[in-house]
Structure formats: C-alpha cells, structure tokens
Amino acid sequence: MISSSYSGISINDPDELIDSIKKVHTKVPLTGKKTNELLALKDKQLQYLIAAIRNTPQIPENWSEDEWKEWLATLIPHRILSLLALHISTWEEKFRPPDFIYSRLIKEFHQAAIKSVLIDHQLLNLSSIFEKEKIEVIIVKGVALARSIYPDTATRISCDIDLFVQPENIKNLENILENLGYRCPEHTFDISPDIFQEEVFFTPKNMANIDIHWSIDRNFSLFDQDWLDKAFISKQLIQYNNFNFFTFNPINHLEYLAFHHIFQHDSMTFDWIMDIAYLFPKLTIEDWKIITKKSAMDNVRISLELALIIASLWSGVSLPENYNNFSNWPVPSQKEQKIMTFAKNHSIYLMSFIHIIHALKNRNDKISHIYYYIFPPKGLLYKYRKSDSILDIPCAYIRRWISFIKYF
C-alpha cells in the first residue's frame, strides 16, 4: 500500500512530479526493452512527454537528434504515439518537436486512423451477426473505450477485440466465428471452462483478432462468482456511428481495467494508463461512493488505487476532492492483500497454479489439470511451435518447459 504518500494527487512542481512518477513505478513498472526503460530518459524529456499527454503546450529543449530518437523509441511499445500526434498537431510550431519526429507522429496517427476504420467495419459486421443470432455480447477495453470516451478512435488502437460472453453462448459463438473463417488453435473452453477464462480467435484477413472471455478471474477468484452476471445486467449501451454495442458500465469497467492492467500483467503501457485517465472522470459522485466500497468487496481495492494514482500523475486528471485521499477509503481485504504480495513478480504464476489445484474439489480434476499443465493439448502449444510438422511437437513441449524456468 502507498496511500500515505499520496493523500493528494495534484502536484505542481515538475521535479516533485517526476519523483512521484518514478516512485509509483517501482511498484507498477512500465513496459519496454528493459523494466522502466522510459524513466531513464532525462527529466526534461519526461516533462515534455507529460506536456504532450496532458495537451499543455511546452517548448522543447534543444535536444540532439539522438536524444529525440531515444525519446520516440522508448514510446513505441506504449502505443500512444497517435494520441500525442493529435495533441501536438494543435500546438503552435514553436512547441512542436523537430520535423523528423513530428512527421513520424503524424504518420502514426494516419495509420491508426486507417486501422480504426477497418475495425469499425469488422465490428459492424460482427454486431449485426450477434444481434441476428441473439447472442448477448459485451465489448470491453481498447476497442470499446476508443468508441466511447477517447477524443478520436485513431488515438486508441487495439490489435484485438475483447468480448465477454455468458458461458452458455460460447459454443454458438465459436461456430459463428469459425464459419466466418476465424481460427482458434486452443479451444480452451472445451478443455476446461472452469480453469480457463478466455480463448483467442485469429483473424482470417487484415482484421483484429477476437478474444472471447467467459469469466473475470479463474486464477484467484478475487471477484464473486456472480460479478459477470451483474455486469451483464448493468451493461451500458454505446451508440456509435452505424451500429450500437454494449460495454461495462463505468464502475465495472474501471474495476476490470484496474484488475487487468495492474494485477494480471507484469508491466504497464501508456495506452492502458490513458484508458484509466479517460474513464474515471466519467464516474459521478454517486458512482465514487459506490466504487470505494465495491472495490474492497471485489478485492481490487489496491489495484484500483494504483491505477488511479498512475493515471492521475501522468494525465493530470484529478479525483473528486472527497475521494483523493486513499487512507479514507475502505481497507483492502486480507485476501486481496495476501494475493497482491505475489503480484508483479514471478511467484504469482506458481501461486495461481496452487490456487487452481486447491479450488478443484474432485481428485481426478486435480490430476487432469496437473497433466494438462505439463503436457497441454497440441492446440495450446501454438506459441511454442516453429513448424506444422508433427515432429516439432516434442520440441514445442521442451520450449514451453524452458520458458517456465524463469517463473519457478
């Protein structure tokens, strides 16, 4: 917990802001070739980045060409260049970076805009089919947020479309997608819907892959079993261009994003940070009253605090006055505190395995899960395959086992 050091998020002093950002990312690191690689930039480079994120024009320092290239290179993994391009394009020329950097940002925006149009067509086609087949689907994360809270869909591009579906609709949805040409090597729902929580359908063309989810959290059971059922009941309708779609309401979406971005991943990207930054101002005061208590009951109280702090520091968006002191929020549950001690380190993978084994009541199910963990079905080896030859399967097992050494 870091509540005591962050009773207020608004920080005006640039040096203090940079120090606070570096401190919080010791707990939740940023992605890159190396952990927190971006934070190795000079403070002035970070301050210009913050200005671009917040859309507050700032005259850049007289950096060398190599320093500008370094600044750009560290941002590429964060998938935020198109958002920076939109902001900086409205600035006077004296505030903009050199032409070779600015032109790259504009190119990123144009490419993102093209990809956004392609996803629009894909969503339009899918949503009409889902509606015709009477399959209730909730679209979440980047694709949904880009079309509901971002200033332009090109500023939040995703490589996949995340869908939540009730378990009873999975098989029907699988058949529909496979008839459309999508390919799912894993079919984890068939292996065990009680252990796995998602499966990926790869696109047949130049489109986004589709991730189908039927559970929020199978690994640790942080959420109550009826969380998703309630989320379907309280889903939010988004009216977008030529079609409508449903997504989580702001409270549930914020909880899910905090859990997904902070708890489930080893590092964080700027597009995820901006998801939080754009979403939490959508909450009303009544919503804040609910989420402070609900996050503790749903065991995402710590994750939510970290997510809100990080989003506030980078984006400058402030929490409501009565809710910016986290020491006044409900105390996280003992269960969450215990599990969070393993988050952000490799022990969490072992703990997840142990938790699943413990949760399985039937002895045969335990043995089956251990066997599948060591010798997964061929479909689960696709990440480790280097050819379609049957002779490559033993090698794929070995590659998978080697990859686990770093976790255990």
Q: Say if residue 2's pLDDT is above 50.
A: no
Nearest CA-CA partner of 248 in 227, 234, 265, 267: 234
**Terminal C-alpha separation, the chain:** 26
Q: Say if residue 70's pLDDT is above 80.
A: yes
- pLDDT tens digits along 208-255: 999 999 999 877 888 998 999 999 999 999 999 888 999 999 999 999
On the 0-12 / 13-18 / 19+ scale of CB atoms within 10 A, 210 is buried
Q: Minimum mean pLDDT among 30-34, 89-93, 187-191: which range?
A: 187-191
What mean pLDDT is reported for the chain?
A: 89
Query: How much is the CA Rg of the chain, to the nearest whole Å?
Result: 22
- To which residue do tokens 């090698």 refer? 395
State mean pLDDT over 15-43: 94
Q: Say if residue 386's pLDDT is above 90.
A: no
What is the model's pLDDT at position 7?
38
pTM: 0.88
Reading the block at residue 120, the tokens are: 């629009």
What is the model's pLDDT at position 407?
54
Asked if 91 and 84 count as a contact pair (C-beta separation under 8 A), the reply is no
Angle between helices 363-374 and 347-359 (to 10 degrees): 150
Nearest CA-CA partner of 142 in 121, 128, 163: 163
Rounded distance, CA 30 to CA 383, Å? 24
Rounded distance, CA 201 to CA 177, Å? 8
Reading the block at residue 185, the tokens are: 């090597």
Asked if 51 and 17 count as a contact pair (C-beta separation under 8 A), the reply is no
Provide CB contacts within 8 A for 358, sequence distance 6+.
none
What is the model's pLDDT at position 1?
35
Please, which pLDDT band fits residue 345 given cuts at 50, 70 and 90?
A: low
Asked if 229 and 235 count as a contact pair (C-beta separation under 8 A), the reply is no
